[in-house]
Chain A
Amino acid sequence: MKNIPQKVIHRYLRHDKKFPHVWCAGCGNGIILGDLLRAIYNLGLEKDDIAMVSGIGCSSRMPVYVDFNTLHTTHGRAIAFATGIKMAKPELKVIVITGDGDVSAIGGNHFIHAARRNINLTIIIVNNNIYGMTGGQCSPTTPIGKFATTAPYGSIEPNFDLCELAKCAGASFVARTTAFHTTEARQIFEKALQKKGCSVVEVISQCPVSYGKMNNISSAVKMLELQRDNTLPIAAYEKLPEEKRAGKIVRGILHDVEKPEFIDQYQKLVDSLSLQKQEKFDESKKENKSSKSEESKSQE
Chain B
Amino acid sequence: MSTDRKAGKPILLQGNAAVTLGALDAGVQFFGGYPITPSTEIAEILAKELPKRGDKFIQMEDEIGSIAAVLGASIAGLKSMTATSGPGFSLMQENLGFGMQTEIPCVIVNVQRGGPSTGLPTSPAQGDIMQARWGTHGDHPVIALYPDSILECYELTIRAFNLSEKYRTPVILLMDEVLAHMRESVVLPPKDKLKIIHRIKPNVPPEWYKHYKRNPKYISPVASFGEGYRFHITGLTHDESGFPTQVPEEVNDMMDRLLRKITDNLDDIIQIEPFYMDDAEIAIFAAGVVARSAKEAIIQARKKGIKVGLIRPLTIWPFPDHDVENMLESTRAVIIAEMNQGQLINEVKRVTKYGQHSRFYRIQKYNGLVITPDEILRKIAEVA
Contacts and interface: CB of A to CB of B under 8 A. Distances in A.
Partners in one complex: yes
B226 A74 contact: no
A40 to B, nearest CB: 14
Given A48-B226, A110-B61, A84 B52 contact: no
Interface string A38-76: 000000000111010100000000011001111111100
A139 B66 CA distance: 25
A55 to B, nearest CB: 10
Contact of A92 (B226, B234, B236): B226
B243 A18 contact: yes
B72 A82 contact: yes
A113 B68 CA distance: 14
B233 A80 contact: no
Contacts of B80: 84, 88
A51 B225 contact: yes
Contact of A77 (B68, B73, B236, B243): B68
B51 A81 contact: no
A17 interface: yes
Contact of B72 (A18, A80, A269, A273): A80
B71 A81 contact: yes
Interface of A is mostly: helix
Nearest to A70: B232
B72 A92 contact: no
B320 interface: no
A92 B72 CA distance: 12
B228 interface: yes
The contact size tier of chain A is 35 or more
B77 A87 contact: no
B319 interface: no
A68 B231 CA distance: 7
B352 interface: no
Contacts of A281: none
Contacts of A29: none
Contacts of A72: 232-236
Contact of A48 (B75, B77, B228, B235): B228
B76 A89 contact: yes
A83 B230 contact: no
B98 interface: yes
Nearest to B225: A69
Given A72-B236, A74-B98, A85-B72, A109 B62 contact: yes
B44 interface: no
B87 interface: no
A74 B235 CA distance: 7
A288 B74 CA distance: 42
Interface string B136-171: 000000000000000000000000000000000000
Interface string A77-121: 100111111111101100000000000000001100100000000
A23 to B, nearest CB: 14
Given A67-B230, A277-B52, A84 B70 contact: yes
B69 interface: yes
A109 B30 CA distance: 21
Interface of B: 29-30, 32, 51-52, 54, 56, 58, 60-62, 64-66, 68-78, 80, 94-95, 98, 224-228, 230-236, 241, 243-244
Given A73-B68, A87-B30, 4 more contacts: A70-B231, A80-B61, A80-B68, A92-B225
